[in-house]
A and B are shown apart, each in its own frame.
Chain A
Amino acid sequence: MKPAPFKYIVARTIEQALALKAEYGDEGRFLAGGQSLVPTLNFRLTQAAVLIDINPLTQCAGMQNSQPGTVRIGALTRYGQLERNSETARDLPLIGEALPHIAHPQIRNRGTIGGNLAHADPASEMPAIVLALAGRLRAQSQSGERWIPAAEFFGGALSTALASDEMLMEVELPVAGPRSGSCFMEVSRRRGDFALIGVACTMQFDANGLCSQARIGLCNAGDRPILAEDAGNSLLGRNIGTAQIDEAAALVQQAIDPGGSIHASKEFQRHLAGVLTRRALTVANERSPREH
Chain B
Amino acid sequence: MTADVTTDSHDIAVTVNGTQYRRTVEARLLLSDFLRHELLLAGTHVGCEHGVCGACTVIFDGVAVRSCLMLAAQTDGHTVMTVEGLASDRDHLHPLQQSMHDCHGLQCGYCTPGILMTMKVFLDETPAPNEAQIREALSGNLCRCTGYQHIVDAMMLAAERLRG
Contact = CB atoms under 8 A, between A and B. Distances in A.
A24 B140 contact: no
Contact of B27 (A6, A103, A110, A190): A6
A2 B72 CA distance: 13
A163 interface: no
A6 B28 contact: yes
Interface residues of A, number: 38
A5 B6 contact: yes
If over half of A's interface residues share one DSSP class (helix, strand or loop), that class is named, otherwise mixed; here it is mixed
Contacts of B74: 31, 53, 55
A257 to B, nearest CB: 28
Nearest to B27: A8
Interface in A190-223: 190-192
Contacts of A10: 73, 76
Contacts of B30: 2-3, 42
Interface of B: 1-6, 8, 10, 26-28, 30, 33, 49-51, 54, 57, 60, 63-66, 68-71, 73-74, 76, 118, 122, 125, 136-137, 139-140
Given A106-B64, A107-B140, A5 B5 contact: yes
A177 B43 CA distance: 50
Given A53-B74, A110-B70, A103 B140 contact: yes
Contact of A105 (B49, B51, B60, B137): B137
Given A8-B10, A49-B3, A107-B140, A43 B50 contact: yes
